[in-house]
Structures are given as structure tokens and as C-alpha cells.
Structure 1
Amino acid sequence: MAMQSSSSSFSYRFSNDLFLSFRGEDTRRSFTGNLYKALSDRGIHTFMDDKKIPRGDQITSGLEKEIEESRIFIIVLSKNYASSSFYLNELDYILKFIKGKGLLVLPVFYKVDPSDVRNHASSYGESLANHEKKFNADKETFKCNCWK
């Protein structure tokens, strides 16, 4: 009796071969738009949010579903990617979702030095410091309002 391979018992189907995470105003009309077209032309079903992101920090349940139905993720880290809490929340959701699933995440550093991202320097350092201040301020406000 032949043993069935473990991969054949994994029946989860992905709607998207690939999910593109990017800051639209930085790369939509250049690198990311061209990458999306090249992938699509080769038959790779790629999710690229082509709508303007609504104002706010939280990702939508529809976007969460697209992430959960993707098997490969390309994160286009551009100069202003980290300046938006929306994109940081999207990246956080992706990284939490893929943990332990063996899914692939590929970072692309678009006009950004990888060491700036790694060391939180330059525009990434400034953006992350601003998010940390906002987070701590929100935490303090929450703490104060809880006890009143």
C-alpha cells in the first residue's frame, strides 16, 4: 500500500497566487503597477488593491480575507510605506497569518536601503518613532479614561 504524501492531504485552496502589499502613492503608477502587469501576463493570479484605501488605521475584513487566501506575499517597502499605520497593520496581519504555515514573504526594497528598514533609520526611523509616540499617547488616554 502506497503512503499518501502529506502535501496531497492539504486541501486548502488559495484564491490568490500572490498578494502585493505596497503604498499606492509611492509605487502604483511605477514599479508595483509594472510588476502586477508582468505577473498577470504570466498567468499568476495576483491581488493588488486597486482602490484608494479608506482613511483610518485598520484593515478591512475584505482585505483580511484576501490575505488569508494568498500563498505568496510581496511587500514593496518604499520610502513612505511605514509612515502609514494602515500599511503597518496590513504587514502585521500578514506576518501573523503566515506564521507556522510555510508561506513565502518576499520584501522588495524600492528606493530604500534595507539597512534603513532593519535599523529603523532615515524615513523608517522617523515613521516608526511617530507611530510609537501615537501608540503610547493612545495607551495613556485609554488608561486615564478607564478609571474615570
Structure 2
Amino acid sequence: MEKRQSPREKKRRIAEKEITDGASASLSVPSIPTGGGSDQYDVFLSFRGSDTRNEFTDHLYRSLISVGTVPISVFKDDNSLEIGKDFNSGILNAIMRSKISIPIISENYASSKWCLRELVRIMDYQKSTLHTVLPIFYKVLPSDVRSLNGKFGEAFHLRKKRFDKEDIQEGQRALT
């Protein structure tokens, strides 16, 4: 006789099957809510899509949602935002509903106004709560991020003229 599965267990099984079926699984695997009907996330991933989406970030995402016996709910913009929903509020609210944020700081991360805004929100949220931030420095040196040097600094300074003054100042603060 087959054991009856909860809806949560069914979602996990479907996600696990999609993960093993191929590399494009991350596009179809939904976030699995934490704790019975909650809209909380265990992890929020912040990343520059053109640098890491199809390689490192997809691998990290798939690993996080398939690890252990209890599903981990991971927010990744292409899997977790509903079509037609306000991108700005959806992303920024997801940060506040997450226990852990993982900014994947890559060479072009700071050239994105959205990445900087996410990082500012993450760091502000960390100061005001028990929010955990686990940065990953992907092919960049932490010292180059802190001081805006090297290729990371070049990418920031080249795009800086497209940002407003407040975004620049808050972004630099969050990066240090």
C-alpha cells in the first residue's frame, strides 16, 4: 500500500525529478514555501544574470533545493516572481521575507542598478534584524569589491554615470 503524500512532499518530488532530468530544470522548478503555507524564503539569491545565471547560480539553486530531507525555499528571480507582478516590490519584499541572503558578487555585479539596490536592501536588513548574509565572491577579489578596483571597479565606474547619486552612494556603502 502506497503512503499518502502531502502537497509539499509532492512538490519536492516533482522538483527533484526535474532537477535530474536536465540542465534547464531551474527554469521550471518553483520555490517551495517554508513551513506550511508561509510566504517566507530560506534563501534569497542576488546575482548578475549575465555573469552567473546559467552556470554557478543555477547549480547553486538546484543544489539548495535538493539538499536534505526538508525542502529549502530559495528565491531566484526567474523562478519566484509571478509574471506581471511588480519586479521592484517583488524582489525587495522577498529579501525581507528571507532568512539568509546570498549575494553572488561577480565582475559585473556592480554595473547593475538592480544588483546594487538588492545589496543595499540586504545590508540594511541585516543591520536591523538577525538576517544572515553569506556573500560569494565569484571570480573577483573581496578587496577589489571593497575598494572598487580591478575589473569589478571598472565595471562599476563605467556604468556609474547611468545611476543617480543616491544609488552610487548607497551602493558603495553596501559594497564596503
Same fold (TM over 0.5): yes
Aligned match of 2:54: 29
Q: TM-score, normalised by structure 1?
A: 0.71
Equivalent in the alignment of 1:95? 123
Unaligned runs of 5+ in 2: 1-37, 80-86, 167-176
Q: Which has the higher contact order (CA 8 A, sep 6+)?
A: 1
Alignment-mate amino acid for residue 102 of structure 1: L
Deviation at residue 87 of structure 1 after TM alignment = 0.8
Return the structure number with greater helix share: 2
Gaps of 5+ in 1: 1-12, 52-58, 139-148
1:135 CA drift (Å): 4.9
Matches within 5 A, 1:112-127: 112-127=140-155
Contact 2:125–2:131 at 8 Å: present in 1 too? no
3-state SS, counterpart of residue 27 of structure 1: helix
Cα deviation for residue 68 of structure 1 reads 1.0
Equivalent pairs counted in the alignment come to 121
Cα deviation 1:106-130 (Å, max 9, x = unaligned): 1101111122112210122223334
TM-score normalised to structure 2 length: 0.61
Q: 2: CA distance between counterparts of 1:49 and 1:111?
A: 22
Deviation at 1:132?
4.8
Q: Which has the larger radius of gyration?
A: 1
More displaced, 29-38 or 124-133? 124-133
1:72 aligns with 2:97: no
Structure 2 residue matching 1:50: 3-state secondary structure:
helix
For the aligned residue pairs, the C-alpha RMSD in angstroms reads: 2.6
Q: Which digits, 9 at most, give the CA deviation of each residue in 1:64-109, with x for residues without a partner?
A: 2111110100010011111111111111111112213121101101
Cα 1:137/1:71, change in 2 over 3 Å: closer
Query: Quick one: percent identity of the two aligned structures?
Result: 44
For the pair 1:19 / 2:44, whether they are aligned, the reply is: yes
